[in-house]
Each structure stands twice: as structure tokens, then as C-alpha cells.
Homo-oligomer: A and B are copies of this chain.
């Protein structure tokens, strides 16, 4: 980890952005200040908590270091007071969410590699870190998680995670490659929303023999 401070700062930025997405969802669902804070904390920290529980990294970073919680709380308070302003700027929020996705995918994959996880599981842990907070956020208000609804969300995280694994495998210069990985995720995610990219669906039978 040659860039601990950079990674640290990126991690907190990602936490803020994701916590903000949770808090904004809570505002839209008409939850009170406590619901807003709960969803902010869940969306901001759950991805990293699940990653650290799976890796056996105890205590998890988000509990060992109070700054993560303070960051998520700050996002909740920000959304409480400024949600009308934030709601008006959906495009910047979408870009910020893509940045959070890239930051967490990269940080999650790097941490998995540090714990000697193999390439494929490390990529999965990176994706899980990136989408986990959003999954918990959406499940808490009983919505199907965005990662299942939006086409190129997990894929964008996967690309960033794969670049990190390739950097490690081929001993590429870590600094520029981390930046490249984050940018790749952000670019693919933003482009996919902008251009309305669709992933292929399975050809289905004309009428299923039974309902799910």
C-alpha cells in the first residue's frame, strides 16, 4: 500500500457519497431524521463492513476508525438540510455515485489482495464493497437493489477491480493504475447512464409454466 493517505482520503470520500445516497433515499421515502441517519450509515459503511467481515479484518475499518461514522453522519445531516438543493442536481449526484463506486471497488479489491485473496475472489470482494452499501440501503426500504435494476453498475465496478488485480499481477506502477481504475469505473458508469446502455437479457419462454 504505497499510498495510504490517498486511499484513506478516497475511502472517506466514497463513504460520504454513498451515505448521501442513502440519506437522500430516506428523504424521498419521507423518513424522519433517525431514518435518514440510519440509511446514511448503512449505505456508507455496509459495503466495507461486509468486506471486512468476510476477510476477517477485525475490527472492521469502519468501526476501528471513528472518521467513517462521522463522515456518514455528516452526509445524513447534509441531506436533512440541503436535500432540495441536492435533489435539483441529479446529474452531479449520479457522477458522485459513480465516483464512490470506483473508489470502493478499487479500495475493496486492494484490501482483498493484501489479505492474500486470489484474483477472482478479490474482484468479487471489490464489487461487493462497491455495491454492498447500496444493496443494504435499498433492501432496508424494500426496493430491489439498484445493482439488479441498473444495467451497467456491477460491470463498471468489475472493470475497476480487474484493473487493480492486473496491476498487482503484472507489477504495474500502482499510483497511476489506481487512478486509471477509478476513472475507468466512473467513465463506464456515467457513459452507460448517459447513453442508456443495456445489457443483454436471457431469451425467455413465451409463457412460463408457473409463476415464480
Binding site for B on A (CB under 8 A): 25-39, 41, 49, 53-56, 58-60, 62-64, 66, 69-70, 79-81, 83-84, 87-88, 90, 112, 115-121, 124-125, 135, 139-145, 147-149, 151-155, 198-205, 208-210, 212
A-B contact pairs, 9 of them (CB 8 A): A33-B201, A35-B147, A38-B154, A54-B63, A55-B59, A56-B56, A80-B202, A87-B209, A88-B205
Pick the residue among B36, B148, B151, B152 that contacts A141 (CB under 8 A): B148
- How many copies of this chain sit in the oligomeric assembly? 3
Q: Provided the pairs A54-B60, A140-B148, A202-B79 are in contact, do residues A154 and B34 lie with their beta carbons within 8 angstroms?
A: yes
Check A49 against B54 for contact (C-beta < 8 Å).
yes
Q: Is the interface of A mostly helix, strand, loop or mixed?
A: helix
Return A172 CB to nearest CB of chain B, in Å. Answer: 22
Q: Please, which residue of chain B has its CB at the minimum distance from the CB of A53?
A: B53
Check B30 against A204 for contact (C-beta < 8 Å).
yes
Check B201 against A30 for contact (C-beta < 8 Å).
yes
Pick the residue among B37, B55, B155 that contacts A58 (CB under 8 A): B55
Q: With a CB–CB cut-off of 8 A, which chain B residues contact A151?
A: 32, 34
Return A171 CB to nearest CB of chain B, in Å. Answer: 21
Pick the residue among B29, B54, B200, B201 that contacts A212 (CB under 8 A): B29
Bound together, the chains give a CA A201 to CA B32 distance in angstroms of 4
Check A208 against B117 for contact (C-beta < 8 Å).
no
Q: With a CB–CB cut-off of 8 A, which chain B residues contact A147?
A: 34-35, 38
Check A63 against B117 for contact (C-beta < 8 Å).
yes
Bound together, the chains give a CA A14 to CA B203 distance in angstroms of 26
